[in-house]
Chains A and B, each alone.
Chain A
Amino acid sequence: MSHLEKDSFGAKLGMWLFLFTEMLLFGGVFILYSVYLTRYPKEFGLGGHQLDLVYGATNTVVLLTSSLFAAMSVTAIKTGAKKLTLGLLSGTIGCAFIFLGIKYLEWSAKFHHGIYPNSPKLIAGPPGESIFFGLYYLTTGLHGIHVIVGAVLMSWTAVMVSKERINAGDNVTLENVTLYWHLVDLVWIFIFPLYYLIL
């Protein structure tokens, strides 16, 4: 492979490898979840019922919509529709902010009830409950950081699109950023049932 031409296949290969590492990063958290779930099934059940299903479900819909926008933006840039691409990217970024806003409301409600890391209520409660909420904050917090990183990357990509550095012919960067965004979405698709639905 010569250096003179851009290797978009190679760029995507690199991105997929990076996505593997992200999955393994969250994999560590999911391992802890499965181990502690088998150890404290009752407390996990009680904890899960305290989570707000409406917030969780809304956020799931928001993220899925954002992923749809992201996927459509790739199709749009390939046809050279710059304005449409920018609109769709703004839609994705907007969804990211809505997601974070809802997350903020959800966390504040929990804080209000005295459920936050190292809170007196959790320390006084049964050990499994403290573990459940510890994992809940860890997982959703780590995911939230990824949402923020994804939104920053999306904004940077939008700038590149508006400068036409990303265009109909050369758009692997946009494709890679949307791949990252789909991963952020996908991780949430696992977090949502594990914490909100099955317990």
Chain B
Amino acid sequence: MSHETAMAEGGFWRDTGRTGIGAWIFSTDHKRIGLMYLYCVFGFFLVGAFLGLLIRLELMAPGPTIMTAQTYNAMFTVHGVVMIFLFIIPGIPASFGNLVLPIQLGARDVAFPRVNLFSWWLYAIGAVIVLVSLFTGGGAPDTGWTFYVPFSARTTTNVSLAVFGVFVLGFSSILTGINFITTIHRMRAPGMTWTRIPLFAWSLYATAWVQVLATPIIAITLLLVVTERILGLGLFDPTRGGDPVMYQHMFWIYSHPAVYIMILPGMGVISDIIPVFSRKPIFGYKMIAFSSLAIAAAGSAVWGHHMYTSGMSDLGVLVFSFLTFIVAIPSAIKVFNWVSTMYKGSISLEAPMLFALSFILLFSIGGLSGLILGAAATDIHVHDTHFVVGHFHYVMFGGTGFAFFAAAHYWLPKYFGRRYQEKPAIIGWVFMFIGFNILYFTMQVLGMEGMPRRYYDYLPEFARLNFVATVGSWIMLAGVAIVVWNLWRGLFRGEPFTGNPWGGASLEWSIATPPPTENFEEDPVVTHGPYDFKGVGVP
């Protein structure tokens, strides 16, 4: 036991010269940076979830319940900003990407370790700026996370600082993207051909391209909001000849591709977990890898579907609607390939697999409801209703959020050298899954019945379903609490985790637990694919 305890605290955890917090915040080790990202994004997830709970509490009954209308506006804005820019965009790529990517490629670190640390610092600085903006100036922004002009140019709340914080976060995201692209091109171990790269790394590759190519557009757009507020250039001000719809175009040119920054790494996690827990090679490796790139490419040309009701020509609506449907094809390719992988597999329903399976179901519901929104005729009916809110929570939380927890249960024991208990993980998952569906499916029904999003008050006929949705949020909270408590206790004080208990065939399962600082003592030579389980040993 003493030997195993020493093991669990060894590896890259061992002090590397510096002591205390300096050993972390100045470390260029990708594993330490990945863990720092993980703690931050996870903290912000809890903050965002708490705000979401308060929003649901307010909507539990018609009329004022626990907060004023202005507070409510600030709540949904901050919930969106925190969840999107501080949790979900850096969520999987920056935390698990940093932890796993170099090891999966057989490298000792990313291509630019110091840039990697710099990008974490930018993330931390951006996060602090966003947090400061909530409590200074005119108070927390109340524009919604989309910062639409002309309201965002005129509101007295502290939009300028919040937007500047998001600008800094975007810079961080770009640098991570550049780092990952270069790493994947240049740092692969001998024998790690493009068709032997694990699918998680492939998904990070596609994500990184979107980060590099789309984020600069939001950067300039957000700068324009700041200059609009501070200098009064009038570029989006209709009284001065500007066009607010131009803002919406520029915002969504980034922010639609950004949803693929959010979902693609989640899909990568699922593509790595499903074959391991089905004891079967992945079905359609090349198609899954290719479909990530296809989603990234097609997803860059569909931003207009956010703007069907903003004043767009019928031809524009038609083209954007068509392109939107095209994105569904590579997404469906992935879903069918995951299901085919499980066919006749020896499926083992452990915690990572349960989260992965629920990802497939919830993402499918979210994706299909996205087609209802992508079709111009039906979109007019449900535009800006709770149907939209339900849709993107199915994709973002049911998709990426569940993938985040799947990744946490799958990879974190490897890095901590200790494991969580299986039973509480599964109980927590059951609560999360049930609560999730009660909450967000009800929202979709509410939207179909015509309840608008972002409204403080609503008609009495929506009262019953709103009450049900709020109860769902409590059940989900219970599930998240169990899962988090179990992970926390397990990873820091649980049983030792050694070897390769799940039988993964990618490189991270071939090295010591926890991984040593240098990952590999000698550069590995890769002789088989990441899902070639022959010789790995069936657990």
Binding site for B on A (CB under 8 A): 1-3, 7, 9-11, 13-14, 17-18, 20-29, 31-32, 35-36, 39-40, 117-118, 122-123, 126-128, 130-131, 134-135, 137-138, 142
Contacts and interface: CB of A to CB of B under 8 A. Distances in A.
B224 interface: yes
Of listed B215, B223, B235, B523, residue having the most chain A CB within 10 A? B235
Interface stretch (B180-188, B286-294, B403-411, B437-445): B180-188
A25 to B, nearest CB: 4
A123 B231 CA distance: 13
Contacts of B212: 17, 20-21
A3 B109 contact: yes
Where chain A touches its partner, the secondary structure class is helix
A20 B109 CA distance: 24
B235 A138 contact: yes
Interface string B181-217: 1100111100000000000000000000000110111
B315 to A, nearest CB: 17
B216 A118 contact: no
The 4 closest A-B pairs by CB, nearest first: A127-B241, A118-B232, A28-B220, A134-B233
B243 A2 contact: no
Nearest to A28: B220
B240 A135 contact: no
A13 B186 contact: yes
A31 to B, nearest CB: 7
A35 B246 contact: yes
25 contacts: A2-B108, A3-B107, A10-B111, A13-B182, A14-B182, A21-B174, A21-B215, A24-B216, A24-B217, A25-B220, A27-B217, A28-B217, A28-B224, A29-B220, A39-B243, A118-B231, A118-B233, A127-B241, A127-B242, A131-B234, A131-B242, A134-B235, A135-B235, A138-B233, A142-B223
B462 interface: no
B222 to A, nearest CB: 10
Contacts, number: 116
B446 to A, nearest CB: 37
Of listed B188, B241, B242, B523, residue having the most chain A CB within 10 A? B241
A1 B188 contact: yes
A130 B234 contact: yes
Interface string B219-263: 111011001000111110001111100100010000000000000
Contacts of B221: 28
A35 B243 contact: yes
B322 interface: no
Nearest to A131: B241
Nearest to B187: A1
B179 interface: yes
Nearest to A21: B216
Contacts of A123: 240
Given A3-B107, A117-B231, A131-B240, 20 more contacts: A1-B186, A1-B188, A2-B523, A14-B178, A18-B174, A18-B178, A21-B212, A28-B216, A31-B250, A122-B234, A127-B239, A128-B241, A131-B234, A131-B235, A134-B234, A135-B235, A137-B233, A138-B233, A142-B220, A142-B223
Chain B interface residue bracket vs A: 35 or more
Nearest to A23: B216
A117 B232 contact: yes
B12 interface: no
Interface string B72-109: 00000000000000000000000000000000000111
Given A3-B109, A17-B182, A118 B217 contact: no
Contacts of A18: 174, 178
Nearest to B215: A21
Given A1-B107, A20-B212, A32-B235, A7 B174 contact: no
Contact of A138 (B112, B181, B227): B227
A141 to B, nearest CB: 8
B97 to A, nearest CB: 16
A25 B216 contact: yes
Contacts of B220: 25-29, 142
Contacts of A31: 250
Contacts of B185: 10, 13
A128 B216 CA distance: 26
B233 A117 contact: yes
B216 A27 contact: yes
Contacts of B243: 35-36, 39
Contacts of B111: 7, 10, 14
Contacts of A22: 216
A179 B112 CA distance: 18
Contacts of B231: 117-118, 137
Contacts of A137: 231, 233
B237 to A, nearest CB: 9
A42 to B, nearest CB: 12
A21 B182 CA distance: 15
A136 to B, nearest CB: 10
Contact of A130 (B112, B219, B223, B241): B241
A14 B179 contact: yes
A134 B233 CA distance: 5
A192 B187 CA distance: 41
A18 B221 CA distance: 18
Nearest to B105: A1
B190 to A, nearest CB: 9
A128 B188 CA distance: 53
Contacts of A25: 216-217, 219-220
B367 to A, nearest CB: 28
A29 B227 CA distance: 13
A27 B215 CA distance: 12
Contacts of A142: 220, 223
Contact of B224 (A21, A36, A130, A138): A138
B240 A130 contact: yes
Nearest to B186: A10
A24 to B, nearest CB: 4
A130 B233 CA distance: 8
B497 to A, nearest CB: 27
Contacts of A40: 241
Nearest to B242: A131
Contacts of A36: 235, 241, 243
B180 to A, nearest CB: 10
Contacts of A134: 233-235, 240, 242
A23 B219 CA distance: 12
Contacts of B246: 32, 35
A36 B242 CA distance: 8
Contacts of A1: 107, 186-188
Nearest to A13: B182
Of listed A32, A39, A131, A138, residue having the most chain B CB within 10 A? A32
